Amino acid sequence: MTEQLFPRAPRRMRQPRKDTLRDELARAATTIELQRAEIERLQQQCRQSWWRRLILRKAA
């Protein structure tokens, strides 16, 4: 049995500061931009014909 007659209500989690949220949002936006560029590059690579990909691979 608990020592208190009426147990204390659970504490609410504190909300992060606005500058922390802004930094996190900026990092997420940067990650999204990099991933979008990578996806576009891969899609462009897949659209090339097989012989062009072969030539580019040999040149690199």
pLDDT at 60 over 70: no
Residue 18 lies in a domain: no
Residue 9 lies in a domain: no
Instruction: Retrieve residue 5's tokens.
Output: 């007659």
**Terminal Cα-to-Cα distance of the chain (whole angstroms):** 73
Number of domains observed in the structure of the chain: 1
Residue 10 lies in a domain: no
Report the alpha-carbon distance of residue 51 to residue 49 in Å, rounded.
Answer: 6
Domain that holds residue 54: 23-59
Tokens 């979008």 found at? 36
Give the model confidence (pLDDT) of 13-53 as tens digits. Answer: 889 999 999 999 999 999 999 999 999 988 888 887 878 87
